[in-house]
Amino acid sequence: MSNINIHFDTNLTINFNSKDVPRYIPSIFKILNLDPSTQINILFVDNNKIAELNSEFRGILEPTDILSFSPDFSGTYYGTKKLKKLNNIEFPKHSNNNKILIGDLAISLEYIKKQSENKKIIFDNEIKKLIIHGILHLNGYDHENIKDEKKMTEKQNYILNQI
């Protein structure tokens, strides 16, 4: 069984069915042929915190919907200052060192709420899509060029339709 740690670091009161998240993540892992004992940490934050993380670790001074932190795959840093280490992010403690840690996701509920309203889509569905997106990043998928973006989008849509 997978090990899914969810933590909220926000005072926002945005309603969504957070109990659904641990229900569909094992299906995502199965589709991606990940070990059933895989561990993932998910941190739900507000726009201020995600903007701070985006600035520190990507060099982009604005909020975003989701950030992925993988022990195996690095993203692109766009800033000019020296990249900081991940020691100041308050992710949940790893509950079992025997689990395979795929990585950490930081998700801005505030950003996604506005994004889903603008797109006129259901908030919980947007959360699910972005969790899939983040897990794909943790597995080495990216969208830095058109070819990679197409591959990632196709995989994301496939998984979304399967779960």
Residue 101 has pLDDT above 50, yes or no: yes
Residue 60 has pLDDT above 90, yes or no: no
Residue 91 has pLDDT above 50, yes or no: no
Decide which of 96 and 50 is more confident.
50
Helix or strand run (H / E) with residue 13:
none
Angle of CA points 160, 120, 47, to nearest 5°: 85
CA distance 154 to 122: 21
Average pLDDT over residues 3-24: 84
CATH of the domain at 139: 3.40.390.30
Query: Smallest Cα–Cα separation from 69: which of 46, 92, 47, 98?
Result: 92
CA distance 31 to 77: 30
- The number of folded domains in the chain is 1
Q: How far is CA 78 from the centre of its chain?
A: 19
Banded pLDDT at 59 (limits 50, 70, 90): confident
Banded pLDDT at 73 (limits 50, 70, 90): low
Tell me the per-residue pLDDT of 135-149, one tens digit each, with 9 for 90 and over: 999 988 988 889 989
DSSP designation for 51:
H
Average pLDDT over residues 82-88: 53
The total number of residues written for the chain in this structure: 163
Give the per-residue pLDDT at 15.
80
Decide which of 82 and 25 is more confident.
25
Domain that holds residue 108: 3-162
Give the per-residue pLDDT at 77.
59
Is residue 138 a contact partner of residue 70, using CB atoms and an 8 Å limit?
A: yes
Is residue 30 a contact partner of residue 64, using CB atoms and an 8 Å limit?
A: no
CA distance 9 to 70: 20
Is residue 60 a contact partner of residue 101, using CB atoms and an 8 Å limit?
A: no
Q: Which range is least confidently modeled, 23-27, 75-79, 122-126?
A: 75-79
Give the per-residue pLDDT at 83.
54
